[in-house]
Structure 1
Amino acid sequence: MKTILLSLSLLSLLIPSVGRAAFYQWTDANGVVHFTDNRSNIPRQYRDKAQRVEVSDSAPVTVSPGATTPSHKAPAAGVEPGGHNEGWWRDRYKSLRTELKTLQDQRAALDQQLVELRRKRTIFQRARDRVAINTMEAQVSTIDAKISDMLNRIAALDLAAAQAAVPLEWRQ
């Protein structure tokens, strides 16, 4: 009996499972795209406009709030994906990635400065060093929030590009 149970357990681990998750996407009044996996986290004024996004191992599918089955958007012949040309998509990706790289470089520089300040604090035990460390940690926290926002914006652009059937080479 134990061998059968063990065999079934191993078999269940070997069978690939389809990974699926449902997320909600909405755009606020400032034009910022937000994602959540819990509908109750969406502010009330945006709940009616929120779209359910099914994420699986295949391409993402957006489900309108009133729709019962997912629908893929197929680009019409002669129409540019997402209403934008290749240059727009490439420029948008390039600007977001450049800004992300700049933020990450700033974060790395602040980390080095923070290490130096902590070393000084350990050696000299000065109160002004503690104030400087607190200030630096606040700056790091601010940059972390900006990096997170930038990653969300890139993810939203990726989602929009996937929905608009933008070719992968345009997303580089």
Structure 2
Amino acid sequence: MKTILLSLLMLILLTPTVARAAFYQWTDADGVVHFTDNRSHIPKQYREKAHRVDVSDTAPAVVTPGNEVVTRPAPPTTVEPGGHGESWWRERYKSLRTELKALQDERAGKEQQLVELRRKRTIFQRARDRAAINTMEAQVSTLDARISEMLNRIAALELAAAQAGVPVEWRQ
């Protein structure tokens, strides 16, 4: 009897189950496609345009706001990767990396100014120097957040390019 129960338990545990997950997809103002599994993570300005994407072992389907399921046909093989040509992908990567470099350079300059302000604060002990330090720290923190956002946008573009089958040389 124990053998039968153990065999049934093993059979139940080893039986594959259908995997299902719901994700939300939206495209931001820059044309970057984002995915999340939590609707509250979608920025407010994009929540109205977000679509629920049900993912399972079968063909992917989009659930529209009216709960109508629309299955997506397989994309034709003659279409350019991601629906864009080589110049679009190269320009997109170039613009994001250029903006990231500018933010990093600006942050380095602000960090140098912050070091100078701290040096002055140590020497003179003035209250206005402390206020300047607080302001500069806030600016550096803001730049850190923008750099993090830019890195996320580059990672999202990289993911979209990988999913679209964009050649590696177009991503440089």
Q: TM-score normalised to the size of structure 2?
A: 0.65
Aligned residues: 143
The answer to whether the Cα contact below 8 Å between 1:75 and 1:81 also exists between their aligned partners in 2 is no
- Is the contact between residue 24 and residue 52 of structure 2 (CA under 8 Å) also seen in structure 1? yes
- 1:49 aligns with one of 33, 48, 51: 51
One-letter identity of the residue aligned with 1:76: T
Cα distance in 1 for partners of 2:108, 2:76 equals 42
Task: Please give the secondary structure, in 1, of the residue aligned with 2:26.
Answer: strand
Distance 1:108 1:23 in 2: 38
Summarize deviations over 1:114-166 as a string: whole Å, max 9, x none.
Answer: 11111111111111111111111121122112112211211121122112110
Match of 1:116 in 2: 116
Which residue in 2 is equivalent to 1:161? 161
Deviation, structure 1 residue 50: 4.2
Q: Secondary structure at the match of 1:26?
A: strand
Change over 3 Å in CA distance of 1:65–1:104 after alignment to 2: same
Matched to 1:49, the amino acid is: H
Counterpart of 1:166 in 2: which secondary structure? coil
Does the CA contact (< 8 Å) of 1:48 and 1:65 recur in 2? no
What corresponds to 1:92 in structure 2?
92
Percent identity over the alignment is 73
Code of the residue aligned with 1:118 in structure 2: it is R
Report the TM-score, using the length of structure 1 for normalisation: 0.65
After superposition, the Cα gap between the structure-2 partners of 1:30 and 1:160, relative to the gap in structure 1 and judged at 3 Å, is closer
In structure 2, list runs of 5 or more residues that go unmatched: 1-21, 64-71
Alignment correspondent of 2:80 = 80
Larger radius of gyration: 2
